[in-house]
Chain A
């Protein structure tokens, strides 16, 4: 058509417009870069194809994580999935073998915490990095002290800290020693550390592991307030409830690999759990109802005094309860309310100051640990490295740790090594304990899950009358947790009495037949898990509610 016809003019202009439009979109030019930057502006942090290796293991395998400005982004995975490692890379504690990090669109090299801080990135670690005998103020300013010619000048710092504390409602006493304050307050100190450094991107590593349900709610609110002030939050967890409560999006890691990112509002807990573990997981344990028999363990008016001079407070205060055959009784409470001391007094690791411990009708309060271990008591300890195993010994020697003196394993004073190794082999097969060299493996090199299995195998195969299991699934992956829970229920059904101590509320609710809540060394409630909610349990645990009765 001729160019000067009206239809063709429109067609031509449309055509030219069409061509120009495509040209602008296809060819990367200054305009394109502006547009892309517009996209990236939403992402304040990008970790692209990060690979981090340690000798013998790939902790992060080609992981990509993107954090939007102003969002709360959860990083979900089991223990050992690589979440902490990834965040340590972001914070500069580790250097990745491959991959890059972009902050506000620019590629950055983060070689250490100072770099991270300069970029506005801060981190609250799972195990607090606080110096115990320094004050709150000293801990906050450490590494960023205000000085004059080398001498510390704390007044300005103090003012700034108090201002921040007011603004964000993070109440602390600047002159208190870390060793004297509660865990909740210690966490607030860690958060103030980040605010003091004007961190905008805040990483929280398993922040709720040590908090009461009430403190967890407070923390969630603090996070929402921080985001309102323009901060962006990354938080590492394996607890689905918390993600649901506060996160916008969630990225899932499994065994070092990136599985995907979901919008939390649109994803169910079951779906997230399946992403985390790789298969469908039963979030509850199936067990038949218990039929308790005779009393096996009776604790009466047991008290433990504090060891430090000058302290007259009792760590365990006139505690009394019973555990019968065929039931699982759980002592629930916030860490540090006397559970550890109670268990130590029952087993004999420390001495009670008054009261009695009776097993199978025999008063064993003053008997030696060995006597208790050979007369019906088994103990899966809280800290498998401290109490449960001699890590430098091999697996076999650890498996006979409670029985090496039996006639079966020694004659005269000489060890019968053949018998020991045969016995170990049996346990390894029956309980599926995996290790690199079987019975000869140095226990230190075994994974946490298998170490715990070894302890469980050892303690259960003694066929105890009363089994004390203290935080038996701490730090383990879902597979190992399922296994141990099943073993405990099996023992219960076979007639053992089980006293469980746990900090994981899910475990407490699912596993126990009866719950005894401990608060400041006293039993404040005796509850039936079928009849209460987690919220109520939390109230008892924090002392807000008290029940009249104990058994």
Chain B
């Protein structure tokens, strides 16, 4: 039983950042802008957040410090995504190229600045945020150990983001207009909606959530940050496509991928799995292989926003 709790808790660590970033990507793509720069945004968000934790490690600790780090990561993510937004919306550049440029920039920047500030490229931090057990809720049988033990506040933040995303996208005026921009920007424009502003909003949201996702990715699973988010940004894109741009599907898909990742990193602690003798590399590859297979089945009738990736040009008729 404790194995199941353990796996589930581990799954949360991998699932939540993936889901947060994928939901951010959803907002961007639903507005019509492909955001391949998520890997870089996660890196920048993680870097600034972890750096903050590192620098304030002596004077601060606990949830307050984490909350401040969260705000910093989100802010960094938003600012960094502005570059992508500007290039894609104002300059009408190829969105894949500008995204790739940001992905190349981020780790180089992180390493460079880390070296300048502290000499080495790894940024260590103290993890004082693990909640061993939430008062009251942690003692509920079965659900308690699953969701309320060995958790972080970021877990709950992530779940909240999921709920908010679904509501905002489908039940608010903003969501309706955003979706219109991604499907048929000319229709939105002639209805008086400022398409550019909507797209900026979409990209900035993906920046904020991407930055947050980066931080959330690092904190539970290691004690330092080494300018790498292990391809999570790209995996989040895969989750987005797998989830057909819908929040609930994204959540389920993140759960599945998170589970695979959790098993890959901790299978040695699980008796029956380690007895199988399958090396960790296999588990590491599984999410990617599964993504490929799923893509085969979903790409035919893709529910991608119809106008995504096409720079909206008022002058074109």
Contacts and interface: CB of A to CB of B under 8 A. Distances in A.
Contacts of B191: 113, 129, 142-144
Contacts of B184: 129-132
Contacts of A139: 187
Interface stretch (B11-19, B64-72, B156-164, B169-177): B169-177
A183 interface: no
Nearest to A308: B301
B193 interface: yes
Given A142-B177, A152-B171, A129 B190 contact: yes
Given A112-B192, A117-B192, A150-B172, A142 B183 contact: no
Nearest to B307: A131
Contacts of A128: 187
A228 B203 CA distance: 48
Nearest to B194: A112
Contacts of A143: 177, 188, 191-193
Contacts of A117: 192
B314 interface: yes
Contacts of A127: 186
B284 interface: no
A132 B317 contact: no
Interface residues of A, number: 29
Contacts of A49: none
A142 B180 contact: yes
Interface in B275-317: 306, 314-315, 317
Given A129-B184, A131-B180, A131-B183, A152 B193 contact: no
B181 to A, nearest CB: 9
Contacts of B190: 91, 93, 113, 123, 125, 129
Contact of B171 (A54, A84, A129, A151): A151
B315 A145 contact: no
B187 A152 contact: no
Contact of A152 (B172, B188, B189, B314): B172
Interface string A467-481: 000000000000000
A168 interface: no
A132 B172 contact: no
Nearest to B170: A152
A378 interface: no
Contact of B188 (A93, A142, A144, A150): A142
Contact of A129 (B176, B177, B186, B306): B186
A114 B192 contact: yes
B192 A133 contact: no
A131 B187 contact: yes
Given A93-B314, A117-B192, A125-B190, A133 B172 contact: no
Given A129-B187, A130-B184, A131-B187, A152 B176 contact: yes
A150 B176 contact: no
A115 to B, nearest CB: 9
Contacts of B179: 131, 134
A379 B181 CA distance: 37
A152 B183 contact: no
A5 interface: no
A132 B192 contact: no
From B180, B187, B188, B315, name the one whose CB has the most chain A CB atoms within 10 angstroms.
B187
A150 B174 contact: yes
Contacts of A113: 189-192
Nearest to B175: A152
A133 B176 CA distance: 11
A145 B192 contact: no
A409 B189 CA distance: 48
A128 B176 CA distance: 18
Contacts of A151: 171-173
User: Which secondary structure dominates chain B's binding surface?
Assistant: helix
Given A114-B192, A143-B188, A138 B172 contact: no
Interface string A71-104: 0000000000000100010010100000000000
A147 interface: yes
B315 A54 contact: yes
A117 B189 CA distance: 13
Nearest to A113: B192
Interface string A378-405: 0000000000000000000000000000
Contacts of A91: 190
A47 to B, nearest CB: 19
A445 to B, nearest CB: 15
Nearest to B314: A93
A144 B315 CA distance: 24
A134 B170 CA distance: 11
A205 to B, nearest CB: 10
B77 to A, nearest CB: 24
Nearest to B192: A114
A152 B180 contact: no
B183 to A, nearest CB: 5
A138 B174 CA distance: 13
B307 to A, nearest CB: 10
A139 to B, nearest CB: 7
A57 B297 CA distance: 47
A144 B176 CA distance: 11
Nearest to A130: B187
Contacts of A142: 176-177, 180, 187-188, 191, 193
A188 B193 CA distance: 22
B83 to A, nearest CB: 28
Nearest to B187: A129
Contacts of A54: 315
A147 B175 CA distance: 12
Interface in A99-125: 112-114, 117, 123, 125
A144 to B, nearest CB: 8
A204 to B, nearest CB: 14
B173 A150 contact: yes
Given A123-B190, A142-B180, A142-B191, A84 B317 contact: yes
A339 to B, nearest CB: 24
Contacts of B180: 131, 134, 142
B292 to A, nearest CB: 22
Interface string B190-220: 1111000000000000000000000000000
Interface in A237-264: none
B186 A152 contact: no
Interface in A358-376: none
Nearest to A138: B176
A53 to B, nearest CB: 12
26 contacts: A54-B315, A88-B317, A93-B314, A113-B192, A125-B190, A128-B187, A129-B187, A129-B190, A130-B187, A131-B183, A131-B184, A132-B183, A132-B184, A132-B306, A139-B187, A142-B176, A142-B180, A142-B187, A142-B188, A142-B191, A142-B193, A143-B192, A143-B193, A144-B192, A145-B176, A152-B171
Given A134-B180, A139-B187, 15 more contacts: A113-B190, A125-B190, A129-B184, A129-B187, A130-B187, A131-B179, A131-B183, A131-B184, A131-B187, A131-B188, A142-B187, A142-B188, A143-B188, A145-B173, A151-B173
- 3 closest A-B pairs by beta carbon, nearest first, are A143-B191, A129-B187, A114-B192
Interface of A: 54, 84, 88, 91, 93, 112-114, 117, 123, 125, 127-134, 138-139, 142-145, 147, 150-152
